Structure 1
């Protein structure tokens, strides 16, 4: 059974093409690309065959190339988008990684996973495409992203239209991402999170940046009628009232989840079997160990 579709792929492509014709908004991609490169620099090994998977721009590839990494292959979801990307680039759906099993040393991704419908399936394909002891390293938007915009739209629509329409994509929770890595068969999975707060003169400046990133509402279940002017104005008022700083500028939260996992290999560390410890925890803590059921005096 195929995974349910949350995102309108054709609309995503159209909006990214529109964004590519304007001035890019790279205030998220630039620091994410640098952070991914910094994390790789801490791993003292060579990655010969690298795939930059689902990243919406070449920022990650460019940063890795500046750090001396070569053999980086990009991916893109449509030929029209691939025409503007660095070469080499492979055109394929984000959920279908077209690489031979056990052929890649590293798969890296920057801010593209949040619009992948079948994320569990994609993780499984990445793990299969990696060589034994190959690495998957990615950054994606987390559940607190644009929480202010979501709350403001929900309250405005309830007041003006008497109902809600999904207007901001659902984002994953950091705990769910860790569980997906484990389910996909990755060894030594690690996730961590950071929050970036960006300030704007008003909510319309925020929405301008979202359009410049091709990141406006791509949901299949979105309301198809145009947004009412009254709803938009009320949303802006609520946003200003609830999420403005004393100087009048509004806040927008972007949560970045960074995740990593290794393709299993016999050389990797493994957890000890229960009962195999050679030292007692009580001795290490200089504490008195009580039998089960006894209460401390």
Structure 2
């Protein structure tokens, strides 16, 4: 029997993003408990929005299902730090059967984690992921169950922003370049690389200057205006799609002006941190910005 090895890229941030060939999946980094009486989304039977991981006969809502339906739920990251490795493992495992539906398939995982992740945590995550597993998931809407065997041969864990650096280096025929990478997402990171090495003193995770921060600030303003409780995650899709109109309790609100106001604040915070990071770089170094 020929066993094919498949490579999967995983980016762990405010969302966990998966890439495997043509398949691209992103889920919120939320895990939660089942809600009694809930039977899934009748209008949406997709696996990714009705994903349940079955582990030792216990069920866990994953991603959007947990975000929208779990009474008890939490994010697997705290202030940009990756601490709950067991739950990271559960979230990753739950998506693997959707990405790779072949039985008895070997997998190689390339995983990007927040820059603030301790090197020992990175090693621990890599160690925990490697091995053979039986993974069982359920579609909460259709009640379909998938159970597969997966063998994770390798799990390469590195800072998330390093992927951007590698992409740029590949364009220069592998020539090592000095660079400062600014990753703007749910978490904002500044990573400085000199002669191929990450300069930790000149690299930082910006908890207070990110897409999630922007969503949070807009949410607070909308709550004050509408007297409604609003989840910041519901605003993030509008921000990513550059949609200024949001619907709250059947009424449309324009967030364009307030968005621009807070973008300027966050931009200033990012620029200030870039300047501070530059102070840790040797004076004779030439930096190429991307």
State TM-score, norm by structure 1. Answer: 0.26
Larger Rg: 1
